[in-house]
Amino acid sequence: MESQIKSTKVNEQDEKCCVVPDIEKLLERDSYLKPHEKEIRRRYARFEKLKNEICHCEGGIDKFTSAYKSFGIHINKDNSVSCKEWAPGARQLYLYGDFNGWEKKRNPYEKLDYGKWQLNLPANPDGTCPIQHGSKIKVVVETEDGALLDRLSPWAAYVVQPPLDEGCAYQQVVWNPQQKYEFKHSRPKRPNSLRIYECHVGIATAEEKVGSYKEFRENVIPRIVKLGYNALQLMAIMEHAYYGSFGYQVTSFYAASSRYGNPEELKELVDAAHSHGLIVLLDVVHSHASKNVLDGLNQFDGTDSCFFHGGARGVHELWDSRLFNYQNWEVLRFLLSNLRWYMEEYQFDGFRFDGISSMLYHHHGIGQGFSGDYNEYFGLNTDTDAVCYLMMANNMLHDFYPDVITIAEDVSGMPALCRPVSEGGGGFDYRLGMAIPDKWIQLLKEYKDEDWSIGNLVHTLTNRRWMEKTIAYAESHDQALVGDKTIAFWMMDKEMYTNMSVLSESSPVIDRGMALHKMIRLITHALGGEGYLNFIGNEFGHPEWLDFPRVGNKESFHYARRQWNLVDNPLLKYRYLNDFDAAMNHLEEQYGWLQKDPAHVSTKHEGDKVVSFDRAGLLFVFNFNSTQSFTDYRIAVPTAGKYRIVLDSDDKKFGGHGRLDHNTDFFSLEEPFGGRPHSLMVYAPCRTCFVLARID
């Protein structure tokens, strides 16, 4: 029988004296953390205590985080069936389905200690399994008042939407095919420069339907490789009953969404990505869960709590969803094992953790701004249980999978979130630079081009914590949703329907939009962080917004797809943006600026609207001026030598006007400028960006 943690009172003296070996590095790097040293040490002590208790009571972290091997419903090698659940509020559990003629009380579970239940079904007399592959099953929960409630196992590995005549609640299907997919390719090595293609399988088709894993594997992965991205981030994989939730109202945490295909097809997709050298990240939602009862975790054992906090603390008012109780032993087992499940079963390479800000604070970010005052991060509003869970998750993942990548979606900017757990940090590898896309949308919506504050823009792009890596992006799925617009659509709007032909003259609107689209992406890529992210289709300026089928749009798929026909048509200008995106990524692959120190910004001229900086030995020049070009414009140079243009947004092959001569060599001058020992003179056309590289 498994051991169970006993409730113990934390030894305050031990906690106070706990020493984190590398915490001094954290304090030396950021002296503003010094007043909060006690709290940082206390958090680490909580983590260390939990880790030790798991090892002592559960036989190690590996066993504890591999609970998916015993919990749920499993068909054994001898064709017997083993079932195990945690339902502390239940009076009795039963299993029923196709295998027993849907008799609810025919197969009762045996009650174990600590709210656990188990059931073992022997093989049939002829040696066959009593529950066949493809069988439909459900767990019946008998409550203390005698009610019988139909539930899906929280550990269900495959659930499907029923036919219309069988109700609306998802059905659990036993998945045990004779031919399981076998991975042929090992995980690629973790890249030093992370270029992420964020995508959604369902919308990745031009047809007005839900796309499939197979279609994505065959049609989209080759595009991603050609564009020069080295990481694929899959959204909406964890099963969600409501398609329009974008996958953020998860109902079955262990089930890969069946609306795109079956589990073997997802495995084949991941393996295909690996064959091209792409790492695959899963957008994981451990910040909350759907309130659905019949096909979700909510009220699984018939009570208000179980996996969640009871009462008001267990409800996210803004998202109308349930909030996990990260202090609960079995919740930790469930969530940590969920991460292991996707790493082991599907061979994912890491995770983007959604909604971290909601987890980190008791207020969940509702009605709360963050000014940067460190007291906001280390005060009583911080949820230490959630912080401890994230530390445990990151520590476990990095211990078992050294090349794993974890990314935090945190709008608050919590200090040390992206430093190792051994320093008292959160353990994440990257955080999303969420202020950057907001800044671009603000500039496009609220200001004329001539009123852009160059200094404020540069500050937004460079304002990140030292030695805590940031993923920069100009727009993600958030900016594409209905009610907002993509950057391309904000700039070009209705003229995208009539003036994108290469056979006609560019209108001022299209000319501006094409130019700024390229400039916005390159300056974000080169200046904004240590990684870069693009949302599917935005690389070629996908028009319109993203709107899933719903009652309000008459269940239409018109806006829940990607119009690849636009970029594939050689007579349309979308291909120019697509080609520039690819050139930008391939240049980064060659010079690796994302893995180098942050850029040195030497020019941010408000009047001229010019920005210049150097990074990884490259010189970047941006002239955001809408009308004025500059000849003999001085830019700073860190290393003397001869330079040549290696990327130019105004190049005709990218839909530009071809105003720069690519055969011109630029020679550095022994004249210091902008904090660098050398300088050179360039021609900077209006609304153009270009990159210079030193040639020997």
Question: Are 273 and 234 within 8 A, CB to CB?
Answer: no
Sorted by sequence, the CB contacts under 8 Å of residue 78 that are 6+ apart come out as 123
Inter-CA distances, 32 with 44, 200, 611, Å: 18, 40, 31
Distance from C-alpha of 229 to C-alpha of 216, rounded to nearest angstrom: 16
Beta carbons of 54 and 452 less than 8 angstroms apart: no
Which residue, 174, 148, 149, is CA-closest to 159? 174
Q: Is 218 labeled as catalytic in the residue annotation?
A: no
Percent helix, percent strand, percent coil in the chain, to nearest 5: 35, 20, 45
Helix 454-462, helix 508-527: angle, nearest 10: 40
Tokens of 175: 């998945």
CA dist 455 and 457 (Å) reads 5
Q: Give the closest residue to 472 by CA, choosing from 517, 431, 416.
A: 431
Q: Is 98 a catalytic site residue?
A: no
Q: How many CB atoms lie within 10 A of CB 695?
A: 11
d(CA 59, CA 441): 51
Catalytic site residue from 85, 354, 475, 648? 354
The pair of structure tokens assigned to 110 is 């045996």
- Pairing state between β 688-695 and 231-235: unpaired
CA 524 to chain centre: 18
- Among residues 85, 271, 301, 409, which one is catalytic? 409
CA distance 17 to 10: 12
Q: What are the Cα distances from residue 244, in Å, to 61, 168, 197, 350, 553?
A: 36, 15, 21, 25, 12
Residue pair 522/584 in contact by the 8 Å Cβ criterion:
yes
Count the neighbouring beta carbons within 10 Å of the beta carbon of residue 654: 23
Contact by Cβ (8 Å): 194, 230: yes
Alpha-helical regions (H) of 136-283: 213-215, 221-227, 263-275
Catalytic residues: 354, 409
